[in-house]
Amino acid sequence: MVIIHSRIDLINEDYLLSKHQGFIYLASTLDTKSAEIFYLSQLIQDAGLPVKIVDLTTKPSVIPPTVDVNADTIAAYHPEGKDAVFCNDRGNAIAAMALAFEHYLLQQDDLLAILGLGGSGGTALITPAMQALPVGIPKLMVSTMASGDISGYIGASDISMMYSVTDISGLNIISRKVLKNAAYMIAGSIYFNLHQEQLTKSKPAVALTMFGVTTPCVQLLTQQLESNFDCLVFHATGSGGKAMEKLIDSHLLHSVLDITTTEVCDYLFGGVLACDDDRFGAIARTQTPSIISCGALDMINFGRPETIPVAHQDRLFYNHNSQVTLMRTNKEENHKMGIWIAEKLNRCTGDITFIIPTAGFSALDIEGGPFWLPEANQAFINSFTQHYKLTTKRKLVLSPYHINSVEFNQQLLSLHDDQNKSALLVS
């Protein structure tokens, strides 16, 4: 039997506001998108939810006072003031307003969700602020750019993008349908978040990083941990590490098992699955308890063989699949990585243990394997141990085992258990 409830049965504004004071923010450049924003606003308010309209026009004082937050107010949040935004250069103005909006949004404590509306300029303006918000806050961007490569707009955040189909240039039979879906999607995210009670207490979340060549290690870890922890596995492809660190910065993780740090290889030496300079930065900022290892530091990722830079043609390669070619890291590269990672981790003041599996860093880096090159690994070990500064909280373990061995797995579990016990004693 299908039971159809009235809107009043399902959504009660007084109940919602008693649960959590706040608004759905509607953001756009209202000098060109006002009809669409006010249409969205009416739909969401008709669904029983409060809205706050934010104007991001890069021209001062061109919008009527019915807007809740005008462009002048947002522009004032730019570190260099309003003049940096209202500069009469469209490209610079968009970039400046994007920064101002990010600063503004991060200081608001009444944001339940955000819905943005824009073309190429508006999307570039709004999504950086969305990316800066914690994971879990509903974020929806209706954009003319959503049918192409949207990686730059999404970053490592949980932004949802909806293609506008027609250009965002007035209301018509198509745009009304698309905007109505957007309004109800964002309203639904708030309604169900506030109304649904968790039946059981959620388990603490643990992040793990994995690559194909460290899969046995991480799968065995998750099997051992999943009875007590919610295991979140991130594919170490550049974006995977960034997504993990986004959750760390959002204080959504109990601890980290950063087993596979291969993204550093690609960042330092031109691979295609690179992290950025902020790798390990979230751990330092939040002091999240972490166990970190050398997973797949024996390889740099490239695409098909014909895409490999000519300078590397005499190196040792392994064809992982038809689209991915792996290049073995050499002694010089391992020496540099040891210094880079050690200096990053020296900034961490929380509980950090770095464990080195001296019998091999990946499924390929094993005695008799295609990437078995002990002198390269030793170059990493030597430079890392020389530069890594030990403290009572910053520890180092030299393991005699291979990264995918059962024995190494048991060491990781023991270290994680010790960190938990230490945290309980402190609390």
Give me the phi and psi of 195, to 5 degrees please.
-95, -30
Helix (H, G, I), strand (E, B) or coil at 357: strand
Q: Is 200 helix (H, G, I), strand (E, B) or coil?
A: coil
CB 124 within 8 A of CB 131: no
How much is the pLDDT for 427?
47
Residue 177 CA: distances (Å) to CA of 80, 163, 214, 269, 404: 40, 12, 46, 48, 52
DSSP assigned state of 209: E
Residue with tokens 């954009």: 143
Q: What is the pLDDT of residue 90?
A: 87
Residue of 8, 21, 89, 88 whose CA lies nearest to 50 = 21
The domain locations on the chain are 13-194, 205-301+328-425
List, edge to edge, every strand of the sheet that includes 299-302. Answer: 299-302, 325-328, 317-319
Q: What is the per-residue pLDDT for 4?
A: 32
Pairing mode of beta strands 51-55, 23-28: parallel
| The domains spanning 13-194 and 205-301+328-425 adopt the same CATH topology | yes
User: Can you give the pLDDT of all 427 residues of the chain as single tens digits?
Assistant: 333 333 334 444 444 444 457 999 999 999 889 999 999 999 999 999 999 999 999 987 666 667 999 999 999 999 999 999 999 888 899 999 999 999 999 999 999 999 999 998 999 999 999 999 988 899 999 999 998 888 889 988 899 999 999 888 889 999 999 999 999 999 999 887 765 544 445 789 999 999 999 999 999 999 999 999 999 999 999 989 999 999 999 898 999 999 999 999 999 999 999 999 999 999 999 999 999 999 999 999 999 999 999 999 899 999 988 889 999 999 999 999 999 999 999 999 999 999 999 999 999 999 999 999 999 999 999 999 999 999 999 999 999 999 999 999 999 999 999 988 766 555 4
- Return the CATH fold of 205-301+328-425: Rossmann fold (3.40.50)
What is this structure's pTM? 0.76
pLDDT of residue 136: 86
Query: How far apart are alpha carbons 241 and 355 in whole angstroms?
Result: 19
What is the structure's pLDDT at 8? Answer: 34
pLDDT value, residue 9: 41
Confidence (pLDDT) at 13: 45
pLDDT at position 155 = 86
What was the pLDDT predicted at 417? 93
Q: What pLDDT shows up at residue 198?
A: 46
Q: State the Cα–Cα distance between residues 63 and 31, nearest whole angstrom.
A: 7
**Cβ–Cβ under 8 Å, residues 286 and 350:** yes
* Number of other CB atoms surrounding residue 304 within 10 Å: 12
* DSSP-based three-state secondary structure for 377: helix
| CA-atom Rg of the chain in angstroms | 25
Query: Residue 201 has what pLDDT?
Result: 55
Q: Which fold does the domain 13-194 belong to in CATH?
A: Rossmann fold (3.40.50)
CA distance between the termini of the chain = 50
| Count of Cβ atoms closer than 10 Å to residue 86 Cβ | 19
